[in-house]
Amino acid sequence: MTILLLLGTITFIILLTAVWKIHPLPVLFLGAFLFGAFSGFGVQETLLLLSAGFGNTIRGIGLIIILGTIIGAFMEQRGALRVIAEKIIGTLGRKRAPFSMSLVGFIISTCIFCDSAFIILIGIWQKIGKIAKLPLAVGTVALSLGLLSSHCFVPPMPGPVAAITVLGADFGKVLLFGLPAAFVAAMAGYFYASLAGKNEILEIREAEIPEESAEKTVFKHHWPVAFLPILVPLFLIGSVSIAGMFKENLPTGIYDILKISGNPVSALFIGAVIAIFVIGKCHQKELATEGLIGKAVLNAANILMITGAGGAFGEVLKQIDFKYLLHENITLTGVLALLIPLSFSAILKIAQGSSTLAILTSASAVFPLLEPLGLTSPTMRALTCCAICCGSMIVSHTNDSYFWVVTKFSGMSVRQGLKLQTIGSLVSGISAAAVILTLAFIFGE
């Protein structure tokens, strides 16, 4: 009965968000409340669980998402994104520009949402593609899938951060496993784009690109500075997990210092300081409510509310003894058990369109299954997060807002979007899944 109730609740969430287009925040709260009430917890206890889950989730990820949003806002508005794109393209050459756009997407979407980044960068690609007489569809899809790869896999994007919080995974390990998976997904997207897009002709509608999407300030630093707000936090966070393997051989106190600087909040705070005061050369007005800081916090608030609601749903699910309910039906454990969260996330992505919501709902539903599936070790929790992220890439189609951003601003028809973006996201997601399963066979516990 409990399993049917859970499936019914998830179906309810999908219908209200994907079909009736209701905002996910009230839907997740209502779904969690109904599930708890009908599971026998009672109204009072369910409300207490919702409050605890919401508060614990915000406490775990609030600063991470806010700081990540601030970094992205300053990099976008101060021209750093354009500098990164132009430097990579200039280094690899215009003839390799489609490959360069895939790399650009992979790097930039670690700090800015994929739809915003696509709107900013598509104009750069269209200009270079026309001058170099390259197939515009190839670079467009390479860019869109490169952006989607990091968006789904790499913290501090809200999806992976939420999964880390709900599943209790190690931030650094998710980063170390997620980065290669995201890179392979981006490269697979590029190779698919090269094959499927070379004969596709796009009707560019430049007038549809809003003027406000362009950066408003010329970048006034040497190009390496543009990479610092992204690379410094990633390096600090990743170094903790790597140093942990050798901490007994490190000098006294070094590992403790690395743990402090590599804490996700500390690392992103350092990245935000670089973005604000080095790249932004911040003035007092930018720190005001109406400035970039204020706008970034407002953007983060919507994400935090939805993520917190997902955490509330997860808190109710944690009270259910799924091990007792499923012990006779569990046939997959260990590495192959990763196929369960991956498939669950993919089904949710296909059904309702949002990668972030697919990750969040999947993590909440999968958490009680970690023990019966044999996924409780730190390494397997991190790989479970990554498996869920793989599923959230499969597939981007007409119920995904990002699908319409890509098609509208690139000049794709719906048919071309389904052929290039939808199938391409499937190829990228499956490629990433192959990487995660391989890593699980090598490092799984």
Contact assessment for residue 379 and residue 173, using Cβ atoms and an 8 Å cutoff? yes
* Per-residue model confidence as pLDDT tens digits over 217-272: 556 678 889 899 999 998 998 888 788 777 777 787 888 888 899 899 999 999 99
Q: Which two structure tokens, joined as six digits, stand for 125?
A: 């690609």
Alpha carbon distance 54, 132 (integer Å)? 51
Contact assessment for residue 437 and residue 157, using Cβ atoms and an 8 Å cutoff? no
Q: Which helix (H) or strand (E) holds 417?
A: helix 414-417
AA identity, residue 314 = G
Confidence at residue 163, expressed as pLDDT on a 0 to 100 scale = 93
**Confidence check: pLDDT of 1 > 70:** no
Confidence at residue 215, expressed as pLDDT on a 0 to 100 scale = 44
Domain extent listing, the chain: 2-443
* Per-residue model confidence as pLDDT tens digits over 310-326: 888 888 887 876 655 55
CB neighbour list of residue 333: distance below 8 Å, 6 or more residues apart = 372, 373, 374
Alpha carbon distance 179, 106 (integer Å)? 9
Q: 223: which DSSP letter?
A: T
Query: If you compute the radius of gyration of the chain from its CA atoms, what whole number of angstroms results?
Result: 21
* Per-residue model confidence as pLDDT tens digits over 135-159: 999 999 999 999 999 999 998 888 9
Confidence at residue 10, expressed as pLDDT on a 0 to 100 scale = 84
Alpha carbon distance 110, 127 (integer Å)? 24
Task: Give me the sign of the Cα torsion angle 191, 194, 200, 201.
Answer: positive
Cβ count near 363 (within 10 Å):
30
